[in-house]
């Protein structure tokens, strides 16, 4: 059983007044979305067909008209938020606190033990990406030196880069052209 339709007479009167003075198609459609069901008893589908919009758009148009006429009304609810959060932000902060203390003392924080500790706390396994997102959410980032061979000499790579040929390839050597050689 569908819920009964509530029609506010004040809203219908406002829609009639606005429809006579509407200067844009959007304002007129909003008025019509309110007036057609109220005055003609049209269903959402019939109203949508008359306005040339989808069925789901009719309640949106009606809500927009209500918000326009009553600016003190609360804003429409939005989905927003962390709907699949495993822990609240405060719980995450408390979970990271011992690891933060270790990091401040100079210890390296490795993701795998952190992941195991979180899995133990939650009671189910978690993927590594969950840990990386958790660390990013709390402003942690990777602080490590760049990749370098430990036995390399400091100035050799720069010298090699400076003195190497551009676009060098062993199979693309310039060979003397046969025409120039025969002349």
pLDDT in tens, 52-102: 999 999 999 999 999 888 888 777 777 788 888 999 999 999 999 999 998
pLDDT value at residue 27: 93
Of residues 32 and 71, the one with the higher pLDDT is 32
The pTM score is 0.45
pLDDT of 183 strictly over 80: no
- Residue 119, C-beta contacts closer than 8 angstroms, at least 6 positions apart: 125, 126
pLDDT value at residue 171: 61
pLDDT value at residue 125: 96
33-48 average pLDDT score: 93
CB atoms within 10 A of CB 44: 18
Domain boundaries, the chain: 9-69, 89-137
């Amino acid at each position: 059983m569908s819920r009964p339709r509530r029609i506010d007479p004040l809203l219908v009167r406002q829609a009639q007044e606005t429809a006579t003075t509407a200067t844009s198609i959007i304002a007129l459609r909003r008025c019509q979305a309110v007036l057609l069901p109220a005055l003609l008893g049209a269903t959402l589908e019939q109203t949508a067909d008359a306005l040339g919009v989808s069925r789901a758009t009719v309640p949106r148009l009606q809500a927009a008209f209500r918000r326009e006429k009553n600016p003190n009304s609360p804003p429409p609810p939005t989905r927003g938020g962390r709907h699949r959060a495993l822990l609240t932000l405060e719980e995450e902060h408390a979970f990271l606190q011992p690891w933060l203390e270790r990091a401040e003392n100079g210890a390296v924080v490795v993701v795998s033990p952190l992941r195991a500790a979180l899995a133990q706390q939650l009671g189910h396994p978690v993927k590594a990406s969950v840990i990386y997102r958790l660390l990013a959410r709390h402003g942690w980032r990777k602080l490590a030196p760049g990749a370098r061979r430990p036995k390399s000499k400091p100035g050799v790579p720069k010298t090699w880069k400076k003195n190497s040929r551009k676009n060098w390839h062993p199979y693309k050597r310039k060979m003397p052209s046969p025409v120039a050689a025969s002349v």
